[in-house]
Amino acid sequence: MKKAFAAAALTVGGVVGAGFASGREAVIFFGGANVISAAVFAALFFASACFFMTRGGGDLPSLSREVFGKMCFLPLAALNVNYFVCLAAMSAGCSAVCGKAAGLLPVSACAAAVYLGVGGVKKLSYLTVPLVIACLAAVVLPVGEVSAADVKIVEPMCYAAYNAVLTAGVLLPAGGTLTKKQACLAAGLAAAVLFLLTLAVSAAAGQSGQNMPLASVAAAKGLYGVYSAALLLGMTSAMASAAFPLCAAAEKITRDRLVAVAAVFVAAYCVGTLGFGKVMDTALPVVSAVSLAALAGFFAVSAYKKIKAR
């Protein structure tokens, strides 16, 4: 049971980054709270997390080769762009909350966890995710009006795909230590938590045009410090999920883990200087659509090969 909870924390930790914890992604993909829209997101995310965690271990390059063969470079390129955009957004978010100098502290903590491997990322998520959930709950509860009028299907699916491939880099190796039952339980716990959090955050954020919609909500309640803690802790765990596969790919080129980690984080920091709002609003919708196509490819080709093998 402990393994399932740890894997669930790892899964949630890859999602609750700057975009989620700030409420910005809720505005972009949901535009207000809606049970059906949140359920679509949670259901596809659950299926995706199960898919990656029940593979019995491995990594993204090996899975891509297994599924796509010689064309594996296409989904790998799409996924690596996804990871880099997320990492840049997290870096920009840290600077927006703490200032450029202090913002380097959570980035450095994340880099240290990634340097230690998937075990370091697991421990980081296990420590930060319960605190993120508690802090976010304090800011957004009680939940505002949940409407059944503005149902969205495609946008939540894109959002689920974006987060699924974002966490795939750590879920694949983490799944190697889990039974299928434990993996499915972890995916279910993570999806349930994200469903509830998505509803609450979407209700609080509404259709705000601010870069960080929950900031004003927290300030009105006198909880800006709690909100800042949620944001920083969430960004740290999400950065680790995004950076892990990128650093693994860079290490194959540099042949040195320290150099690879440094190169990835410096590059993301430089792109992040464009600003949190620009990175999120410009790149995220495109990246999420590409992620949905990549995820659909993984599902479709895997299903076809299983049917053909029979």
pLDDT at res. 276:
65
Residues 203-226 have pLDDT tens digits of: 888 777 677 889 888 998 999 999
For the chain, the average pLDDT equals 86
Rounded distance between C-alpha atoms, residue 5 and residue 300, angstroms: 29
Report the range out of 96-100, 159-163, 294-298 with the highest average pLDDT.
159-163
Residues 30-85 have pLDDT tens digits of: 988 889 999 999 999 999 999 999 987 888 888 888 888 888 888 888 788 888 88
Q: Provide CB contacts within 8 A for 160, sequence distance 6+.
A: 40, 41, 42, 43, 44, 45, 48
Rounded distance between C-alpha atoms, residue 163 and residue 165, angstroms: 6
| Domain 2-298 belongs in CATH node 2.60.40.720 | no
Tell me which of 38-47, 128-137, 138-147, 255-264 is least confident.
138-147
pLDDT at res. 259:
94
Please determine, for residue 193, whether its predicted confidence score (pLDDT) is greater than 90.
yes
Higher pLDDT, 273 or 146: 273
Q: Provide CB contacts within 8 A for 148, sequence distance 6+.
A: 34, 35, 36
Q: How confident is the model at residue 251 (pLDDT cuts 50, 70, 90)?
A: very high
Please determine, for residue 144, whether its predicted confidence score (pLDDT) is greater than 80.
no
Over range 167-194, report the average pLDDT.
Answer: 93
Please determine, for residue 229, whether its predicted confidence score (pLDDT) is greater than 60.
yes
**What SS3 string covers 197-222?**
HHHHHHHHHCCCCCCCHHHHHHHHCC
Rounded distance between C-alpha atoms, residue 234 and residue 129, angstroms: 7
pLDDT at res. 187:
96
pLDDT at res. 179:
92
Dihedral angle sign, alpha carbons of residues 11, 196, 132, 282: positive
Please determine, for residue 238, whether its predicted confidence score (pLDDT) is greater than 70.
yes
pLDDT at res. 101:
66
pLDDT at res. 128:
92
Over range 188-202, report the average pLDDT.
Answer: 95
**Is 142 strand, coil or helix?**
coil
Please determine, for residue 296, whether its predicted confidence score (pLDDT) is greater than 60.
yes
Q: How confident is the model at residue 12 (pLDDT cuts 50, 70, 90)?
A: very high
Cis-peptide, bond into residue 142, ω within 30° of zero: yes
Higher pLDDT, 189 or 274: 189
Q: How confident is the model at residue 87 (pLDDT cuts 50, 70, 90)?
A: confident
Helix and strand tally (H, E) in the chain? 15, 0
Higher pLDDT, 218 or 145: 218
pLDDT at res. 279:
66
pLDDT at res. 277:
66
Q: Provide CB contacts within 8 A for 18, sequence distance 6+.
A: 24, 89, 90, 92, 93, 94, 231, 234, 235, 238, 276, 280
The residue assigned the tokens 């596809």 is 44
pLDDT at res. 295:
85
pLDDT at res. 32:
81
Rounded distance between C-alpha atoms, residue 225 and residue 222, angstroms: 8
Q: How confident is the model at residue 190 (pLDDT cuts 50, 70, 90)?
A: very high
**Is 231 strand, coil or helix?**
helix
Closest Cα to residue 265, out of 99, 80, 110? 110
